[in-house]
Chain A
Amino acid sequence: MLFLFPSLAGITVFVLLPFMDVIRRSFCDAMGRKFVGMANYKLVLNNKAFQLAAGNTAKFIIICIPVLLLVSLGISLLLKNQRSRKEFLKTSFLFPMAIPVASVVLLWRLLFHWNGLINGLLVRTGIEKIDFINSNKAFIVLIITYLWKNAGYNIILWLTGLNGIPASLYEAAAADGAGKWAKFRYITLPQLAPTTLAITILSFVNSFKVFREAYLISGDYPHESIYMMQHLFNNWFLSLDMQKITPAAVLCIILFIMLILLFMKLRKNED
């Protein structure tokens, strides 16, 4: 308990107490002066912008996390079996993490702008231009951004997990005549289960950081396909809509807690 005290005190002061105030305000008017009961929650749940942002955020998480897990696992498997330039390739995949978001956004703009490089290439090959930023394609751009940025980190985590699998298991399976797929199906995947859980949680947390890219590419009001919860919070704060932000924040936290409990239950089952 004594060792826990400093971090507990920090979390209490900087997270728990402010969040208690958020919960209080979620039942009050915008300036937190008058109790309004559940009215704010009704207001938020009926708000179309909230529904859109929540839907987009959920869609993004549901699509991105499995794709990221699969892509990074695939690359890490290739890397594990890579004999030459393995370290160089590993480092290359980590580069996106080191590049500042503002620079990355500049690059994306250069690529995906109406008059950008990709549209330039499309026009040269006789294909019509695509409005990547102000159409449904913006969602794909955002997914690519997220994968590009986070794949390297996940690759390292997968490699750590892969390196932790004893080579003797593969040797024994080979002696029993197991092929590559059988080894992957019956040795690699089960052995990676704890790693998978950890990577999923980290990817889930990182998925919320993609707002920075979306904001820097398209500002406060991007195309509706990439309008995320953070856009909404940002805009509500600008117009001082605390009666909407606070219940929305409470709802989000409830959802996150439920998801984390689910992950924990899964882990328990794994154990």
Chain B
Amino acid sequence: MGVKENQNCTTITLRMKDGRRRWSNPGANNMAKLLTSRENKELSDIIDKYTDGMILAEPVQDFRVGFCMPVRFASDLALIMQGCTNKGRDASKENNDITGGNGKQASGDAAGKVSAKDGEQAMGRYIESKAKLPEMSQGEIILGILMNPDGYFEVYTMHKGRYYCYRQNKDDLWESNMPGWLNNDTVKKADVITNIQQGGDGNYYACLESYTNKESRCRIVQSADGGNTVQTVDMPYLNKAESETAEYTLYPRIQQMGVMENGTYVFNDVGDPDILMLYSPEGDKLDELEIDYRQNFLVTGNKLIAAGKDDTGILFYDGDSMTVEKTIAYTLDNRALTFALKEDHTLLVVDSDGIHRMSGDGTLWEIVVDGILNSMSMPSLTPYSLYVTEGEHEEYHVVYKDANEGTYSLMHYRFDKNVSSVPSREITVYSLRENKTIRQAIAMYQAQNDDIKINYVVAMENAAGNVSDYIRALNTELLAGNGADILVLDGLPVDSYMEKAVLEDISDIICPLEDAGMLLPNISEGYHTDNKIYMMPVRFTVPVILGKADAVKNVSSLDSIVNYMARTDIPYSGSASYRELLLNYLALYSDDFLQNRAIDRDKLTGFLKNIKEIADNTQASEHDEEKNRRSELGSLFGNEDLFTENAITLYDENVSSGLIKIANINDLIIPFAVIKNKGLSYNTLDGQFLPIGIIGLNSTGKDKETAKAFISYLFTGEVQDANLYDGFPVNSSSIDKWFAQDNEDFYVAFSSQNGKMISGGWPSRGERKAFRDKISNIRIPIETDNVLNQMIIEGALPYLLGNTDIDRAVAGIMEKAALYLTE
């Protein structure tokens, strides 16, 4: 706290201490306790208690009156001292420095009641709970959730072509009706309703999208006659074609919309979402504003609040004067921001870090709700809107949109003074790179366990640098006994950690899951070592060869591939860089020449000769900038960027095969479309799979019980059911659910580099079953030795480029590899 206060020295320290000195930790704690005690009107009692009557009662009363007047100020100050950040000065970076974490550590929650006794736990924190939504029929879809001016929620839904509105009443019950303005012929003709909301003028508005064989159009409609009828808003911008061909005309589509009190329409176009346009009720363009399209904007009264483009901060635009009144500095992350503005001009912002608050005339951000501890940090959820209600403490409701389901959910954040300000148990999860499933699980687990905090340290978050430096830093921590409780082993020296007993046997967690049939046995069995289990992936992807039937059959070794190539006239696959070729085939066939940490010179020579044959056949090149970049990443992080060929290549070019990677059912759509169109087939590669998010337990972790409970939670259906596009679940029922899912509405189309179009729908039941059967037969995890791979690539490149002969290349590789393997 003392350090945080130092960040805000200009505002607080200068005022309180006349110098840029900072509080000591105990000093700041004591001051915070005094201030909160004063706010709680307990200050005099504490003074009495500790001074044992030395201070007379009467002056204390005076003191109380004189000192307690600015309660709001006291509260603000206590809040600031507990949890200020200065987003404008990139507080997340400062947090990073302080905590050594990923900048998303809790930077403080709303201050609660703090006991005067030293060492007693501070109490009070915002707790998340799922708000109760109306009971809906099966198949009923939520179109939007909004809060009406009376402070009650309205949920708009669609079911079997009819639109419903559920209104919350004061007893927290939901009353259903069918709004006339939505249930009429004008609206029914539309295919999709987006952006239902109440304008500043009191009317309800909606965007309608219609698709025909010839055009796609978007219209704005508004409720009239108290919601009984509908009027179409005449917006000339939407009637001007954006692109027009002989077959199809595309009209502008609205991404997000708002209506000011004075009737000004504010919206951005999906085609150019960086530009926020303002139109008069008559349809005349008034102004436009450059914004960050990833963030939501807020229209309230005649004000517009939006995130400026290129991290320029939060813009306050006045709809009357049509000028930007002010800009507040704020560091955006990649997740959507959502705003709320109170009547006293207090601004609230929700992002993945939490709910940030700045009073109307303030300059400092405070984090009142820590996003790390709840759904805000879940990758699958995007904040859509934020509502504030007054009470003893402010209460917040956040509407989230689920990226997987496309549905909405409503979360309630209520201050609970009986919960400790900071969870009493804390564990740390370490990974080199962000893993979405783990991030999601952490948020879900914390939401269910108020008393547990899980720090997720992502060592290389957006940072460049040498991966070995990060590993050395981790090793230093492990040796000092300060390492993270749970290690995500992707890219880490797993064998060494196992050998050195850094990893603890987790068979007591995994075996019961296996016995209960929760884990895919063919995946988990690959991680049994001498009756122990040291690691387990939370996801996996499946490398697949797609191509002509003969090519698919001949993948048991590089020799068989080269023999097959000799029999065909067309290239074996699309072009790639040498580096990419080497990485892919090393991942699949390095066992051919590497056995028991020894390299067979002749077999390595054969391997490189075969690679040269494939490279010549496919016209591989040294400089494929995009692919080189991916491959370099792959070499750093193991498996993430292997097999990145696009199935469209096989549709577009006359080649025999391609190596692709399937991480979810969506990834099957285009391959199956190509298979149908070109009469191809596919198969897995000798039952190999790529593990993702390999979890290990640190044997010197401080809270192993909590860590084990979390690891166990990672494999539950609750976590594994969610599709975060980072791999298939290892949970048996979750993967079955994925494959059982029908999605008739899903349809994708791609245009190839040569202008050929290919499209496909959700895989049929038969296709899904066929692939599910293939998954049942994969059982070999692909393990890459990044150091050795790098040596082989560096040594082989001059040979592939023709700068040296095979003997010299192999000798160079053997020399370095021998050094590495004897170390």
A29 to B479, CA, bound (A): 12
Residue of A nearest to B798 (CB): A114
Answer whether residue A195 sits at the interface, using C-beta atoms and an 8 A cutoff.
no
Residue of A nearest to B501 (CB): A31
A81 to B599, CA, bound (A): 59
For residue A241, which residues in chain B have a CB less than 8 angstroms away from its CB?
Answer: 496, 500, 823
B819 and A221 contact, CB distance less than 8 A: yes
A240 and B819 contact, CB distance less than 8 A: no
Residue of B nearest to A222 (CB): B816
Segment from B63-71, B247-255, B467-475, B505-513 that makes contact with A: B467-475
Q: Given the interface contacts A232-B823, A240-B475, A241-B496, does A220 sit within 8 Å of B812 by beta carbon?
A: no
A239 and B812 contact, CB distance less than 8 A: no
A224 to B787, CA, bound (A): 16
From DSSP, what is the main secondary structure of chain B's interface residues?
A: helix
Chain B 362-401 per-residue mask, 1 if CB under 8 angstroms from chain A, else 0: 0000000000000000000000000000000000000000
Chain A 81-112 per-residue mask, 1 if CB under 8 angstroms from chain B, else 0: 00000000000000000000000000000000
A242 to B819, CA, bound (A): 18
Selected contact of A49 from candidates B479, B501, B502, B823, CB within 8 Å: B823
For residue A186, which residues in chain B have a CB less than 8 angstroms away from its CB?
Answer: none
Chain B 800-823 per-residue mask, 1 if CB under 8 angstroms from chain A, else 0: 000100000000100110011011
For residue B700, which residues in chain A have a CB less than 8 angstroms away from its CB?
Answer: 31
For residue A224, which residues in chain B have a CB less than 8 angstroms away from its CB?
Answer: 815-816, 819
Answer whether residue B190 sits at the interface, using C-beta atoms and an 8 A cutoff.
no
B823 and A239 contact, CB distance less than 8 A: yes
B500 and A31 contact, CB distance less than 8 A: yes
A240 and B822 contact, CB distance less than 8 A: no
Q: Smallest Cβ distance from B815 to chain A, in angstroms?
A: 6
Q: Smallest Cβ distance from A25 to chain B, in angstroms?
A: 9
Chain B 626-656 per-residue mask, 1 if CB under 8 angstroms from chain A, else 0: 0000000000000000000000000000000
A235 to B502, CA, bound (A): 18
Answer whether residue B791 sits at the interface, using C-beta atoms and an 8 A cutoff.
yes
A47 to B502, CA, bound (A): 23
For residue A256, which residues in chain B have a CB less than 8 angstroms away from its CB?
Answer: none
A227 and B472 contact, CB distance less than 8 A: no
A31 and B823 contact, CB distance less than 8 A: no
Chain B interface residue number, banded: 20 to 34
Q: Given the interface contacts A48-B822, A224-B815, does A240 sit within 8 Å of B500 by beta carbon?
A: yes
Selected contact of A240 from candidates B478, B791, B820, CB within 8 Å: B478
For residue A47, which residues in chain B have a CB less than 8 angstroms away from its CB?
Answer: 822-823
From DSSP, what is the main secondary structure of chain A's interface residues?
A: loop
Residue of B nearest to A32 (CB): B479
Selected contact of B502 from candidates A52, A227, A236, A240, CB within 8 Å: A240
Answer whether residue A159 sits at the interface, using C-beta atoms and an 8 A cutoff.
no
Total A-B pairs, Cβ < 8 A: 62
Answer whether residue B679 sits at the interface, using C-beta atoms and an 8 A cutoff.
no
A236 to B499, CA, bound (A): 13
Answer whether residue B493 sits at the interface, using C-beta atoms and an 8 A cutoff.
yes
Answer whether residue B497 sits at the interface, using C-beta atoms and an 8 A cutoff.
yes
For residue B497, which residues in chain A have a CB less than 8 angstroms away from its CB?
Answer: 240
For residue A33, which residues in chain B have a CB less than 8 angstroms away from its CB?
Answer: 501
A254 to B819, CA, bound (A): 25
Answer whether residue A45 sits at the interface, using C-beta atoms and an 8 A cutoff.
no
Selected contact of A237 from candidates B472, B820, B822, CB within 8 Å: B472
Q: Smallest Cβ distance from B569 to chain A, in angstroms?
A: 36
Selected contact of B819 from candidates A31, A49, A114, A134, CB within 8 Å: A49
For residue B493, which residues in chain A have a CB less than 8 angstroms away from its CB?
Answer: 238-240
For residue A220, which residues in chain B have a CB less than 8 angstroms away from its CB?
Answer: 468, 787
Selected contact of A114 from candidates B471, B803, B815, B820, CB within 8 Å: B803
Answer whether residue A30 sits at the interface, using C-beta atoms and an 8 A cutoff.
yes
B471 and A31 contact, CB distance less than 8 A: no
A47 to B822, CA, bound (A): 7
B468 and A31 contact, CB distance less than 8 A: no
A239 to B815, CA, bound (A): 20
B803 and A134 contact, CB distance less than 8 A: no
For residue B501, which residues in chain A have a CB less than 8 angstroms away from its CB?
Answer: 29-31, 33
Q: Report which residue of A220, A232, A242 has the largest number of chain B beta carbons within 10 angstroms of its beta carbon.
A: A220
A232 to B787, CA, bound (A): 14
Q: Smallest Cβ distance from A62 to chain B, in angstroms?
A: 22
A242 to B823, CA, bound (A): 12
Q: Report which residue of B468, B471, B823 has the largest number of chain A beta carbons within 10 angstroms of its beta carbon.
A: B823
A31 and B816 contact, CB distance less than 8 A: no
Q: Report which residue of A232, A237, A239, A241 has the largest number of chain B beta carbons within 10 angstroms of its beta carbon.
A: A239
Interface positions of B from 421 to 479, Cβ below 8 Å from A:
468, 471-472, 475, 478-479
Interface positions of A from 28 to 51, Cβ below 8 Å from B:
29-33, 47-49
Q: Given the interface contacts A47-B822, A49-B822, A238-B468, does A221 sit within 8 Å of B791 by beta carbon?
A: yes
Q: Smallest Cβ distance from B465 to chain A, in angstroms?
A: 14
Q: Smallest Cβ distance from A35 to chain B, in angstroms?
A: 15
Selected contact of A221 from candidates B499, B502, B803, B820, CB within 8 Å: B820
Q: Report which residue of A221, A235, A237 has the largest number of chain B beta carbons within 10 angstroms of its beta carbon.
A: A221
A221 to B471, CA, bound (A): 17
A223 to B791, CA, bound (A): 11
For residue B791, which residues in chain A have a CB less than 8 angstroms away from its CB?
Answer: 221
Chain B 486-526 per-residue mask, 1 if CB under 8 angstroms from chain A, else 0: 00000001001101111000000000000000000000000
Interface positions of A from 1 to 59, Cβ below 8 Å from B:
29-33, 47-49, 52
Chain A 231-261 per-residue mask, 1 if CB under 8 angstroms from chain B, else 0: 0100111111110000000000000000000
A221 to B823, CA, bound (A): 11
A212 to B645, CA, bound (A): 39
A242 and B479 contact, CB distance less than 8 A: yes
For residue A227, which residues in chain B have a CB less than 8 angstroms away from its CB?
Answer: 819
A235 to B475, CA, bound (A): 12
Q: Smallest Cβ distance from B486 to chain A, in angstroms?
A: 17
B823 and A236 contact, CB distance less than 8 A: yes
Q: Smallest Cβ distance from A177 to chain B, in angstroms?
A: 59
Selected contact of B479 from candidates A48, A114, A240, CB within 8 Å: A240
Selected contact of B475 from candidates A52, A223, A237, CB within 8 Å: A237
For residue B822, which residues in chain A have a CB less than 8 angstroms away from its CB?
Answer: 47-49
Q: Smallest Cβ distance from A234 to chain B, in angstroms?
A: 8
A186 to B341, CA, bound (A): 92
Residue of B nearest to A34 (CB): B501
A227 to B478, CA, bound (A): 27
Q: Smallest Cβ distance from A57 to chain B, in angstroms?
A: 15
Q: Smallest Cβ distance from B700 to chain A, in angstroms?
A: 8
Chain B 715-745 per-residue mask, 1 if CB under 8 angstroms from chain A, else 0: 0000000000000000000000000000000
A5 to B496, CA, bound (A): 42
For residue A239, which residues in chain B have a CB less than 8 angstroms away from its CB?
Answer: 493, 496, 823
A31 and B496 contact, CB distance less than 8 A: no
Q: Report which residue of B496, B501, B812, B819 has the largest number of chain A beta carbons within 10 angstroms of its beta carbon.
A: B819
For residue A30, which residues in chain B have a CB less than 8 angstroms away from its CB?
Answer: 499-501
A232 to B229, CA, bound (A): 80
For residue A31, which residues in chain B have a CB less than 8 angstroms away from its CB?
Answer: 479, 500-502, 700
For residue A237, which residues in chain B have a CB less than 8 angstroms away from its CB?
Answer: 472, 475
B475 and A238 contact, CB distance less than 8 A: yes
Residue of B nearest to A225 (CB): B815
Q: Smallest Cβ distance from B752 to chain A, in angstroms?
A: 37
For residue B816, which residues in chain A have a CB less than 8 angstroms away from its CB?
Answer: 221, 223-224
Interface positions of A from 122 to 164, Cβ below 8 Å from B:
134
For residue B468, which residues in chain A have a CB less than 8 angstroms away from its CB?
Answer: 220, 238
Interface positions of B from 334 to 364, Cβ below 8 Å from A:
none
Q: Supply 24 A–B pairs (Cβ within 8 Å), ascending by A.
A: A30-B499, A32-B479, A33-B501, A47-B822, A49-B819, A49-B823, A114-B803, A220-B468, A220-B787, A221-B819, A223-B815, A223-B816, A232-B823, A235-B823, A236-B823, A238-B472, A240-B475, A240-B493, A240-B496, A240-B497, A240-B502, A241-B496, A241-B500, A241-B823
The 10 closest A-B pairs by CB, nearest first: A30-B500, A239-B496, A49-B823, A48-B822, A221-B816, A49-B822, A240-B475, A239-B493, A240-B500, A240-B496
Extra inter-chain contacts (4) besides given A220-B468, A224-B816, A232-B823, CB under 8 Å: A221-B787, A237-B472, A238-B468, A238-B471
